[in-house]
């Protein structure tokens, strides 16, 4: 078909088609003498893909990579679409925060009658710091690399220091604390390979999950194909507001700094239904004083490997988490489960 036929079929302009051709996304054949572009059904399919990816905001360079890999790498398009969805949720959450900041600025100006430049600057800087806190997270632990043997790491016997001791007991305790009821919707934040979410699903509870590691998600989908999962982060949970009766998370927040943990708590609150509850089981110290005492005792005992493992992550300050949850309107019950794992049950006031 000719370019005008292609444009009519896909409801786009010939100019757009020429643009995508210039960018190398499609390569129609040209007649020997007329110079007219001749498009095949394969060109139609490729252009439909391009238009679809542009609709969800994917950049031209990223689309080119997708198109190059689609024929060679099974699942590449799905992977890139999942990445794009994660990016869109991040932008959406950031835009929501900007809107909230702007609304606060407007209300302050209305109330004061004048524009306090210093106060407005403070609000803007606060929003900037939040964005930087979200953007500064890096996967230093290579979860994509350890996904295939993650279960062995947490379930296997280990000599010496073991932050995952009594792992299955911890997960069972999370389920009991969440107290899931028939018909409820639950979310596993940082689902990993699905060891926690599957316990709920086997009780007939509808569970969803997200994780920042595609390989961990692929392993989870192999083990538990009945649990829907998404690629996403704790700072932009890839679900809309008020969708879940409860949120659970285990052994995941220790990969977030104290400031990032507070952002994650706000995201948990966003996706919970009114009256929803939250259960966290993770590596923690009661407060900074307990952390310092414990590290000092390990140092005196020559337990350098244990110190290295603890300092490789961000064991939570339980008191700060409780304070953050209380600021969000939760009542919190705390319990130590193992030497390092604490459980927090947060219910709305």
pLDDT tens digits, one per residue of 171-197: 999 999 999 999 999 999 999 999 999
Give the pLDDT mean for 320-336.
98
User: Higher confidence at residue 262 or residue 47?
Assistant: 262
The answer to whether 281 touches 250, Cβ cutoff 8 Å, is yes
16-42 tens-digit pLDDT: 888 888 888 888 877 666 667 788 877
Percent of the chain, pLDDT > 70? 94
For residues 307 and 286, what is the distance between their CA atoms, to the nearest angstrom? 17
19 φ, ψ (degrees, to nearest 5): -60, -45
Partners of 254 in beta bridges:
none
Give the pLDDT mean for 206-229.
95
Could you tell me which CATH number the domain at 3-70 has?
Answer: 1.10.1660.10
Helix/strand/coil percent split, the chain, to 5: 55, 15, 30
Q: Is the pLDDT of residue 77 over 70?
A: no
Any residues with CB less than 8 A from the CB of 164 and at least 6 apart, and which? Answer: 153, 154, 155, 158, 251
Which whole-number Å values give the CA distances from 195 to 95, 152, 155, 220, in the listed order? 33, 12, 10, 8
User: Higher confidence at residue 125 or residue 142?
Assistant: 142
Domain ranges of the chain: 3-70, 81-135, 143-348
Q: Is the pLDDT of residue 75 over 70?
A: no
153 conformational bin, left if phi > 0, alpha if psi -120 to 50, beta if neither: alpha
pLDDT value of residue 74: 47
134-156 tens-digit pLDDT: 777 888 888 989 999 999 999 98
pLDDT value of residue 165: 94
Could you tell me which CATH number the domain at 143-348 has?
Answer: 3.40.50.150
pLDDT value of residue 268: 98
Kind plus residue range of the DSSP H or E element containing 16 = helix 14-22
Greatest CA separation found in the chain? 86
Q: Which two three-digit tokens encode residue 65?
A: 């990579």
Any residues with CB less than 8 A from the CB of 275 and at least 6 apart, and which? Answer: 348
Overall pTM surpassing 0.85 (yes/no): no
Q: Is the pLDDT of residue 70 over 70?
A: no
Q: Is the pLDDT of residue 54 over 60?
A: yes
pLDDT value of residue 44: 81
**Cβ burial, residue 88 (10 Å; 0-12/13-18/19+):** middle
For residues 34 and 42, what is the distance between their CA atoms, to the nearest angstrom? 22
Q: Which two three-digit tokens encode residue 42?
A: 């394969």
């Amino acid at each position: 078909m000719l370019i005008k036929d292609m444009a009519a079929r896909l409801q786009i302009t010939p100019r757009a088609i020429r643009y995508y051709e210039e960018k190398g996304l499609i390569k129609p054949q040209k007649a020997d003498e007329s110079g007219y572009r001749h498009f095949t059904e394969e060109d139609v399919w490729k252009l439909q893909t391009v238009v679809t990816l542009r609709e969800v905001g994917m950049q031209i360079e990223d689309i080119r990579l997708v198109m190059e890999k689609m024929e060679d790498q099974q699942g590449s398009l799905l992977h890139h679409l999942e990445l794009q969805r994660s990016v869109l949720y991040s932008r959406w959450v950031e835009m929501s925060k900007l809107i909230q900041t702007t609304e606060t600025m407007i209300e302050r100006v209305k109330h004061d009658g004048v524009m306090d430049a210093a106060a407005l600057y403070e609000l803007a800087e606060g929003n900037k710091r939040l964005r930087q806190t979200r953007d500064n997270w890096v996967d230093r632990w290579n979860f994509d690399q350890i996904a295939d043997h993650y279960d062995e790491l947490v379930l296997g016997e280990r000599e010496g220091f073991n932050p995952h001791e009594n792992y299955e007991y911890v997960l069972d305790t999370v389920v009991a604390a969440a107290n899931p009821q028939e018909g409820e919707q639950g979310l596993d934040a940082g689902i990993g390979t699905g060891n926690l979410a599957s316990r709920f699903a086997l009780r007939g509870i509808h569970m969803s999950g997200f994780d920042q590691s595609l390989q961990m998600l692929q392993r989870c989908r192999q083990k538990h194909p009945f649990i829907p999962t998404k690629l996403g982060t704790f700072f932009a949970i890839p679900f809309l507001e008020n969708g879940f009766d409860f949120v659970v998370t285990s052994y995941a927040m220790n990969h977030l700094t104290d400031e990032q943990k507070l952002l994650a708590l706000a995201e948990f609150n966003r996706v919970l239904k009114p009256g929803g509850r939250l259960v966290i089981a993770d590596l923690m110290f009661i407060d900074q004083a307990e952390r310092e005492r414990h590290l000092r005792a390990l140092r005196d005992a020559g337990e350098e490997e244990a110190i290295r493992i603890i300092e490789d992550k961000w064991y939570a300050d339980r008191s700060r988490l409780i304070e953050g949850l209380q600021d969000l309107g939760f009542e919190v019950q705390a319990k130590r489960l193992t030497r390092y794992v604490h459980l927090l049950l947060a219910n709305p006031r």
